A and B are shown apart, each in its own frame.
Chain A
Amino acid sequence: MSQINRLPSGARIDSSVAVKFTFNGKQLQGVAGDTLASALLANGVNVVGRSFKYSRPRGIVGHGAEEPNAIMQIGSGAGTVPNLKATQVELYEGLEAASVNGWPSVNFDLMSITGWFGRLMPPGFYYKTFMYPAKLWMTYEHFIRKAAGLGSSPVQDDPDSYDKLNQHCDLLVVGAGPAGLMAAREAARAGARVIIADEQSEFGGSLLASTQRIDGRSATGWVEEIVAELNAFANVQTLPRSTVFGYYDHNFLGILQRRTDHLVLRAAAGARQRLHRVRAKQVILATGAFERPLVFAHNDIPGVMQASSVSTYINRYGVAPGNRLLVFTTNDNAYQTAIDWHRTGRTVVAVIDSRAAPEGQLVAAARQLGIQIMAGHGVIEAQGGKRVKRALVAPLSADGSEITGAVQRLGCDLIACSGGWSPAIHLSSHTGAKPTWDQNIHGFRPGESKQQERSVGACGGSYALSACLAEGAAAGAEMAHLTGHGDGILHFPVPEAEEVQEQPQQALFLVPHTKATSRAPSQFVDMQLDVSASGIELAVREGFESVEHIKRYTAMGFGTDQGKLGNINGMAILANALGQSIQETGTTIFRPSYTPTTFGAIAGRDVGDLFDPERYTAMHRWHQDQGAEFEDVGQWKRPWYFPQSGESMLEAVNRECLAVRNSVGILDASTLGKIDIQGPDAAEFITRMYTNSYLKLAPGKCRYGVMLKEDGMIFDDGVCACIADNHYLMFTTTGGAAGVLAWLELWQQTEWPHLQVYFTSVTDHWATATISGPNARKVLAKVCDDIDLANNAFEFMDWRDGTVAGVDARVFRISFTGELTYEINVPAHYGRHIWEALIAAGEEFGITPYGTETMHVLRAEKGFIIVGQDTDGSMTPADMNMDWVVGKNKSFSFIGKRSLQRSDSVRENRKQLVGLKTVDGTQVLPEGAQVVFDPQQVIPMSMQGHVTSSYYSANMGHSIALAVVKGGHSRLGQIVHCPLADGRTIAAEIVSSVFYDSKGERQNVQ
């Protein structure tokens, strides 16, 4: 097929550069500067898709974001993109396009059989038909979705990358048509920081297809000049191919910039799309207007188009999409289309004008060219199959509501329609501004601003070019002034554009037919979702009144075009059916996104390895080199266990556990939260946070504490050391560090600002190597000669300053394993150094690196709890059998104290921490297993508790578990049962939670 509709020239194409592409597998050729739509029209392609519900053949209607029919699948394989509008896809060499609807082909669609039964598919058809039986819905849905179809998502990983920029500006101008360009230039000249974004491939908006002149030059020439000026400003960012898709609170807007979609070689150009997150002080919306279609019978046949789109294809792209044009209009603008068409040398059959006596300037110009004008008429029906063949034209009453005479048939293959204009109020609506109906323009204007924004030009309802230029300039100067730039007054002349004398348009939302709406051939309102005028009237007859309900019942405006074309007609038809005004009926609310936005751009670079930070300790590389398996603890990567070759996890953990109890092990404890606390009231403050007292803790001493929230429930635990007078170091759990610091700051800043105390996170500063086991002291002695390690000189729960392997260190004698343990803290830059020094020193004792799993087993053998594992935010210290940590006689209260006296906190039968010893010691209970007293009880059984920690203990030679069981502390010796998901039930005896060294002799070892 050749480009039968290509004209000798078009303003924005280069006919000398051919671009090959495929459409539904067929090789076609366009030219540089084409969109996919203009190239298809140039090639005389009529049918580009099938409609959603009735599978009717559909052709290209518009030339931009409003296009309802030409929905394409672009590309193939991993990079395929569904549901792009052909009118917005720039043509590139090798582009592959396919219709998203229609099988096996758009020209022979098996599904179109449903079209014959269109009468049987009224609004709500799916709701009504597939309601029952409910369980079959999944089957129905599968069929319906396959039948309807709207493109297919790629199934492979996206090969493209996307990124995000955070932008700030004084003024964001949305839309680079005449109003937007003037606004941006004026503000830029005043010195404001300006971003101007436009969704098209180049700036200019409607001017790119305009035949009007500005300052005596062609419109495109004027655009080139002003764009060059804008690009030269250091304080201006120009963003073509960039859709402002959402307007959010506090003048925060999202822009999707398509950087490489139009290129053949994309990978070389970096991120495919870029999401700009813009915080603008002021916003000017210059988004233009959409031409409104006319609703008449079978107005969906390919060859019925928007008048302005026909002009755009002629002037911008050099394409005349047909041969015999019939124009149908309610206003003067469409006469320009007739004039443009006439200039191409193709036939203008007639201009059908619904107004009785059109006399504007363009009307006169058309008349002068000899174009036939049929005033007071309307096209009541289009006829044809896959292309318009003729139009039925009839005289209309003055208000356009009735047919007043005989119907004539006019042969044509293209009907260009104009029902006036609808301002693109979408972004204004995103802010919550309620659109107001303006009887003068027969359209909704943007409502009262809810944000620092203003709509100018066509999107504000001013359609004349001269008005757009003037409004844009004035708004630019004023908005710049509001951000502190310039004086708000215009200092530069506004370019002059020819004034075109126009007559008012006529409001015509539904063209009458010889049959009643309900009997007439479908008069389509929303082409993408096959909503017709009769469907809207039927919904009203069925009792729907609200525009929002009608939208959902009929699906009007639900498509990917969001009803940009059809909505106003639909609302007017609804208002008429309800017998009320359009203002009373109102409009549906537009929400982001203005056009579909890719998920990739929303994710940006926060994917894969960069999805979430991984925090590493100073010794991380050593662990990696040793082949450690890692466990996620918050954002930290902690060594989980260190398998030797061929070892299973259980074997490795058993080996590590035995090594600690029998000789010495080494653990990287750097991830524990550490908070430095200084100030005269530090001890008092700390004492209020923990359940026990720190007032008498002397320098060199440590104490274990538990923190409660106000509800008396355990929230964190750890050791706190007195470093010097008024100076403490608080350890928190790894996962709780940030929360504890925020908790301290909250109480200090909001409740006790009079307490003089400062908190500083030192988690990252200190690297911690913990050596634990009976030989720990011998290892430490080899690398530290300035601390007296004798048991009576350096006792359990003491800490000392000293030098370890040549590095200044703080050594804490505290223990989470129950063994003799030293936690050696050094500034983290030395972390790997002391770690390797300790490994070397421990070699003769077989020092064994161990991970979090072994740490968990060893502490469970000792019955030490882990906050967040054995507790879940509903456990008091008493529940954990830790009453000993609660100071009963503290002078000041502590957080959570009062709640410990609540009736629920002191009631019998609370879940209490106990040990569980399985009757068969080889069986390891799953963590989370429910505990019941009577395994024979009929389901649902009474659940009496659950297992919180469970391991095989190599040291004990049997499995061990911690559990919380109702009234557990008084149930020692009883047998309980854990029914498992696989049907087994494991019996266990309730025992003390301390399995090993119940007197604590080992950590106090001489």
Chain B
Amino acid sequence: MSSNPVNITVDRPLQYFHSLSSHQTDSQSTDIFNGDVDFGLVVKEAPLCTHLNVRGSAQDQSFVAGISQLLGVALPTEPGTYHCNQQQAIYWLGPDEWMLVSQTGAVELEAALRKTLSGHISIVDVSGGQTLINLRGADSALRTLLKKSSVYDFDSWPQAKKEAGRCAQTTFAKATAVVSNKSDGSFDLIVRRSFADYIAHWLLDAGQEFGCRIEG
């Protein structure tokens, strides 16, 4: 490994939108928005972290148990659910596919997983290709925003617990996202980097009626 990690700049997918906002225009006043408005919706891009796509057999007990032991989080095998702790979250994406979002470094985590697991598995670092954003705000505003953006019935989900909730990999506007609910009533979105600008535009537009701000 080389030894010249000087001044490495990191671009977060939504960074050009941090602190941009949209709000309802009032045709009677032409005041430029001054930042004092209460936002009905806040879109916050999480700090970059590790995203690993993990494939394996849910029927393979050593695979299921291995992941649970290593991470301290049970592998969710119920469709459309996720489990999490302070360090990481595992989202069910399909019968043999999961998204692992973790604070541990990608190289370190992948190595640890490969050491623990055996057989036909796949671990792919996709950290650079996506970003996690949190949507919070007034419940009705949040749900209206989701209804504008996706055909999925998020209202059918039960309230999330601290360590588990629901998730769905689905269409989001004309892109895709992994949407999950959180115990504080907010929602997390994992979106692809190349669609991030489109998603940011979409969110600002769809959230305009409530006032919507993007934060880093």
Q: Does B8 reach chain A (CB closer than 8 Å)?
A: yes
- Among residues of A, the one whose C-beta sits closest to the C-beta of B197 is A616
Residues of chain A within 8 A of B129, CB atoms compared: 761-766, 827-828
| Chain A: interface residue total (CB-CB under 8 A) | 60
Q: Does B36 reach chain A (CB closer than 8 Å)?
A: no
Q: Does A785 reach chain B (CB closer than 8 Å)?
A: yes
Residues of chain B within 8 A of A676, CB atoms compared: 122, 124
User: What mask results when residues 33 to 53 of chain B are scored 1 for a CB within 8 Å of chain A, else 0?
Assistant: 000000000000000100001
Stretch of B21-29, B63-71, B161-169, B180-188 at the chain-chain interface: B21-29
Does the CB pair A610–B205 fall under 8 Å? yes
> In the complex, A957→B80 CA distance in Å?
61
- Among residues of A, the one whose C-beta sits closest to the C-beta of B171 is A166
Assuming A636-B194, A833-B9, is B126 touching A764 (CB within 8 A)?
yes
The one of A613, A678, A785 that contacts B198, using a Cβ cutoff of 8 Å: A613
User: What mask results when residues 100 to 141 of chain B are scored 1 for a CB within 8 Å of chain A, else 0?
Assistant: 000000010000000000001111111111100000000000
- Among residues of B, the one whose C-beta sits closest to the C-beta of A756 is B120
Q: Does B158 reach chain A (CB closer than 8 Å)?
A: no
> In the complex, A614→B199 CA distance in Å?
10
The one of A605, A618, A636 that contacts B11, using a Cβ cutoff of 8 Å: A618
Residues of chain B within 8 A of A826, CB atoms compared: 128
The one of B27, B121, B125 that contacts A268, using a Cβ cutoff of 8 Å: B27
- Among residues of A, the one whose C-beta sits closest to the C-beta of B146 is A166
> In the complex, A676→B55 CA distance in Å?
12
User: Which residues in chain B, 135-151, are within 8 Å of chain A measured between CB atoms?
Assistant: 144, 147-148, 150-151
> In the complex, A727→B121 CA distance in Å?
11
Q: Does A807 reach chain B (CB closer than 8 Å)?
A: yes
Q: Does A168 reach chain B (CB closer than 8 Å)?
A: yes
A529 to chain B, nearest CB (A): 38
Does the CB pair A267–B25 fall under 8 Å? yes
- Among residues of B, the one whose C-beta sits closest to the C-beta of A604 is B148
Stretch of A98-106, A537-545, A691-699, A798-806 at the chain-chain interface: A798-806
Q: Does A832 reach chain B (CB closer than 8 Å)?
A: yes
Does the CB pair B126–A829 fall under 8 Å? no
> In the complex, A316→B193 CA distance in Å?
57
Does the CB pair B198–A615 fall under 8 Å? yes
- Among residues of A, the one whose C-beta sits closest to the C-beta of B120 is A756
Assuming A165-B148, A765-B127, is B24 touching A270 (CB within 8 A)?
yes
Of listed A164, A193, A277, A605, residue having the most chain B CB within 10 A = A605
Does the CB pair A827–B125 fall under 8 Å? yes
Q: Does A584 reach chain B (CB closer than 8 Å)?
A: no
Does the CB pair B122–A678 fall under 8 Å? yes
Q: Does B58 reach chain A (CB closer than 8 Å)?
A: no
Does the CB pair A767–B148 fall under 8 Å? no
Of listed B96, B193, B196, B202, residue having the most chain A CB within 10 A = B193
B130 to chain A, nearest CB (A): 6
A766 to chain B, nearest CB (A): 7
Does the CB pair B209–A784 fall under 8 Å? no
Q: Does B175 reach chain A (CB closer than 8 Å)?
A: yes
What size tier do the contact residues of chain B reach? 35 or more
> In the complex, A828→B48 CA distance in Å?
12
> In the complex, A140→B128 CA distance in Å?
63
Does the CB pair A803–B1 fall under 8 Å? yes
User: What mask results when residues 826 to 868 of chain A are scored 1 for a CB within 8 Å of chain B, else 0?
Assistant: 1111111100100000000000000000000000000000000
Residues of chain A within 8 A of B78, CB atoms compared: none
Assuming A268-B27, A829-B48, is B128 touching A806 (CB within 8 A)?
no
- Among residues of A, the one whose C-beta sits closest to the C-beta of B195 is A613
> In the complex, A828→B125 CA distance in Å?
12
> In the complex, A831→B11 CA distance in Å?
8
Q: Does A786 reach chain B (CB closer than 8 Å)?
A: yes
Does the CB pair A760–B55 fall under 8 Å? yes
> In the complex, A618→B205 CA distance in Å?
23
> In the complex, A951→B150 CA distance in Å?
44
Q: Does A908 reach chain B (CB closer than 8 Å)?
A: no
Q: Does B213 reach chain A (CB closer than 8 Å)?
A: no
> In the complex, A831→B107 CA distance in Å?
18
Does the CB pair A614–B126 fall under 8 Å? no
A830 to chain B, nearest CB (A): 7
- Apart from A166-B148, A806-B6, list 5 A-B contacts with CB within 8 A: A617-B194, A764-B129, A802-B2, A806-B5, A827-B125
A-B contact pairs, 29 of them (CB 8 A): A165-B144, A165-B148, A168-B153, A168-B155, A268-B26, A270-B24, A271-B209, A277-B151, A605-B206, A610-B173, A610-B198, A636-B194, A676-B124, A679-B122, A680-B120, A763-B194, A764-B128, A764-B193, A764-B194, A765-B129, A803-B4, A807-B8, A827-B127, A827-B129, A828-B129, A830-B128, A831-B11, A832-B9, A832-B11
Binding site for B on A (CB under 8 A): 163-168, 193, 265, 267-268, 270-271, 277, 279, 605-606, 609-610, 612-618, 620-621, 636, 676, 678-680, 756, 758, 760-767, 784-786, 802-803, 805-808, 826-833, 836
